[in-house]
Amino acid sequence: MANHGFWFQTYTNTKENMSIEEATRRRVTVLSSHLNPTRFTYSDPLSASLCSARSDSDDNNQNCVFCNIVRGQSPALKLYEDDMCLCILDTNPLSHGHSLIIPKSHYPSLDATPPSVVAAMSSKVPFISNAIMKATGCNSFNVLINNGAAAGQVIFHTHMHIIPRKAYDCLWASESLLRRPLNLDDEKVSQLAASIQEQLLVSDICQESKNEEDFCPSKS
């Protein structure tokens, strides 16, 4: 088993009462980085090399910044590490203590990540977030996964964000806006549910067939 290491950085507490100008600036920064990720320019070593959305060649893994961190070839402040994943401080944090949980193996997206790896990452959230909350003095946090370019994913090595929160920190602009849920009629909602259920059934059947092929010898 890998040695567990914890390095926590001391942060300066931010003022509880932010000016309107400061709050507006933060909202614009968050929106520009998450809604328009292609316009965001990284200068930090951690984000200098983005890995490809494909993972079927060694070249892609060589160019993946998270894979380089796992191999010890790129700098990072590690908070936690075990055989399957590690947690590091984000170098472009949205709040003090913003951290990333990263699998040690390269998977370009969440849907390409094996359930066992997703489970290993998720199981560390309570443990790691509790330490981050105590170190930062926060009492809340967001768990976030950007999956795919349209959802704001920039580094195509699946990873999970832990973002510490404080009351009235104005981190997400949407929190200060009135929510406008989609107005769908019952028929459309029922059709959508049926379509999703059908896809789940197909996926389940395909997985069972794959398992049978893996464990059953091929007939000659």
Structure tokens at 58: 């060694």
- The closest alpha carbon to 7, from 128, 180, 110, 156, belongs to 128
Contact 63, 122 (CB under 8 A): no
120 HSE (CA, 13 A, CB side): 19
- The closest alpha carbon to 97, from 27, 8, 5, belongs to 8
The span from the CA of 16 to the CA of 167, in Å, is: 8
- The closest alpha carbon to 142, from 85, 204, 100, belongs to 100
Cα separations in angstroms, 127 against 39, 166, 203? 34, 19, 32
Question: Which residues participate in catalysis according to the annotation?
Answer: 159
Within the chain, where are the H helices?
20-35, 58-62, 65-70, 115-123, 125-136, 186-215
